[in-house]
Amino acid sequence: MRVVFLSPVYPPEMQQYTRGLAEVGASVYGIGDTPRAHLPAGLKPYLDDYLEVPRIMDEDDVIARASAWFRGRSVDRVLTNWEPLVLLAARLRERWRVPGMSVDTVRGFRDKQLMKERVAAAGLRVPRSARVRSAKETWAAAERIGYPLVFKPIAGAGSADTYSCRDESELEAVLAKTARVPEASVEEYIQGEEFTYDTVSIDGRPAYENVAQYLPKPIEARGEEWISPVIITVRDLKQAKMQKGIALGRGVLKALGMGDGFTHMEWFHTPSGEAVFGEIGCRPGGARIVDQMNYTGDIDLFREWARVACWKSFEASTERKYNCGIVFKRAKGRGRITRIEGLGRWLQEAGDWVVEEKLLRPGTPRRDWKQTLLSDGWVMVRHPDWDEAKRLSFAAATGIEMYAS
C-alpha cells in the first residue's frame, strides 16, 4: 500500500497520522513545504520518502511536481487531514485515478454554503443562510435573514474570521475586520447548546462516533479574552439529546457522500429540543480533540484512521469509558509568561484523573489567543461521571491563572 500523505509535519498532529499509516503497513510518501533538513527526527522512521515543495498551498505547482516525482510509479491512496489541503488531495486523486472522494464531493465539505444547500436538500435542518461576496450582498443578506446573525468565511477552518452580529453597527465593524475575506456565508444565529459529532467512517458509515460539548460556544469564546474555553467529550451517547445529534450527523454524511476517514461536525441543540446542523469537514477536528477521543476510550485513533484509510477496517474498541475535558488557558498581560497560579492546587484536587498538563512555562512568549485555540496551553482531565468531569474542567477554567508581562 503506497500512500501519499500531504503535509506530514504541520500541523504537528499530522506526525501522529504519519506514524499511524506506517504502523498499519503503508509505505508513506510525504509532500510538504517543510525543508527536508528540518524534518523532525521522530517522524523520519515513518516516511519512505519526502518531496519538498516551495508552497504546499500552490495546488497547480504541487500537482506538477508530485506527478513528476511519481512518474512511472503507482499510488494507492492520496490523503490529508489538514483542512486547507483536502481539495488538493482530491485533485491529485482524480489526476492519478486513485480511489477516494472526488473533487465535487470534497467541495461539499469545504464550501460552507454549498454544504448547507446539499444538507438542506436532504431534508435536514440547517440555518437560513446566503453566500456573499461584497458588502452590498452582505447587507442584503442580513436584511433577509435578520439579527442576530453569523458571518463566516466560505472556506474557513475552525472559527477564524467568524463573528456573531446582534445589529447593524456590529455587522459594520465585522465588515471592516474581514475586508480581505473574498467570500463568506451570512447565516441565522442558532440559539442553544453547541456540540461536535465526530466520526471515522468506512464508505460513509461511521465505524466510530463521538460527541463533545463546547462550553461556551466557540463563537463566544473567541470574542472574550478572559474566557478559558472548555470542550468535554460525552461518555453516554444514548441520551435522547445526543441521539438527535447523531441521527442528524448520519444524515449529513449520507447527504454529502462521505467516503472513508475522519469527519468533524458542529451541531446545535435548541431550547425547543431541535437538532440543527452547523458545519462539517471531511477531516479530524483540531485543538487536540482526537487526543480527547483517545482518552475517552483508551484507543489510538491516529492508527485506526490509517487502518480505515488503507484497508477499510476499524479494529479498536468503541466502548466509551470516560468523559474527557480539555481547558485552554489564556494568560493575562502581554509578552512572556511570568507565573502560573492555582495549578498545584488543581493538580492535587484532580489527582489521577489528570491526563495532560501542557501549560506554557514562565519565560515562554505568550501566543496570540485570536490565532490559536490552544492559546497558552491546556490541561486535560477525564472522569467516568459527567458532572465530575465538568466540575474538574471548570475548576481549572476558573482556578488556574496565568500572567505575562
Does residue 142 form part of some domain? yes
Residues 6+ apart with CB under 8 A from 35: 52
Domain end among 188, 203, 223: 188
Does residue 14 form part of some domain? yes
Question: Each residue of 83-98: pLDDT tens digit?
Answer: 999 999 999 999 999 9
pLDDT for residue 295 is more than 90: yes
pLDDT for residue 396 is more than 90: yes
Does residue 119 form part of some domain? no
pLDDT for residue 379 is more than 70: yes
> Model confidence at 55, in pLDDT bands (50, 70, 90)?
very high
Does residue 112 form part of some domain? no
Question: Each residue of 231-280: pLDDT tens digit?
Answer: 999 999 999 999 999 999 999 999 999 999 999 999 999 999 999 999 99
Number of domains the chain contains:
4
What CATH number did the domain enclosing 254 receive? 3.30.470.20
Per-residue pLDDT, 157: 62
Which has the minimum average pLDDT: 101-110, 124-133, 198-207, 388-397? 124-133
334 and 247 in a single domain? The answer is no
| Range of the structural domain that residue 14 is part of | 2-100
Per-residue pLDDT, 27: 98
Q: Is pLDDT larger for residue 222 or for residue 77?
A: 77
Per-residue pLDDT, 323: 98
Say what percent of the chain tops pLDDT 90.
Answer: 87
166 and 196 in a single domain? The answer is no
Per-residue pLDDT, 10: 96
347 and 397 in a single domain? The answer is yes
Domain end among 304, 321, 338: 321
Per-residue pLDDT, 159: 61
Does residue 265 form part of some domain? yes
Question: Each residue of 1-46: pLDDT tens digit?
Answer: 999 999 999 999 999 999 999 999 999 999 999 999 999 999 999 9
CB 268 within 8 A of CB 231: no
Indicate the SS3 state at residue 314: coil
Q: State mean pLDDT over 370-383.
A: 93
198 and 308 in a single domain? The answer is yes
394 and 290 in a single domain? The answer is no
314 and 340 in a single domain? The answer is no
Long-range pairs for 282-286 at CB < 8 Å and ≥24 separation? 282/86, 282/101, 282/106, 282/109, 282/256, 282/258, 283/80, 283/81, 283/82, 283/83, 283/86, 284/81, 284/198, 285/196, 285/198, 286/11, 286/13, 286/157, 286/158, 286/373
Does residue 123 form part of some domain? no
The mean pLDDT of the chain is 95
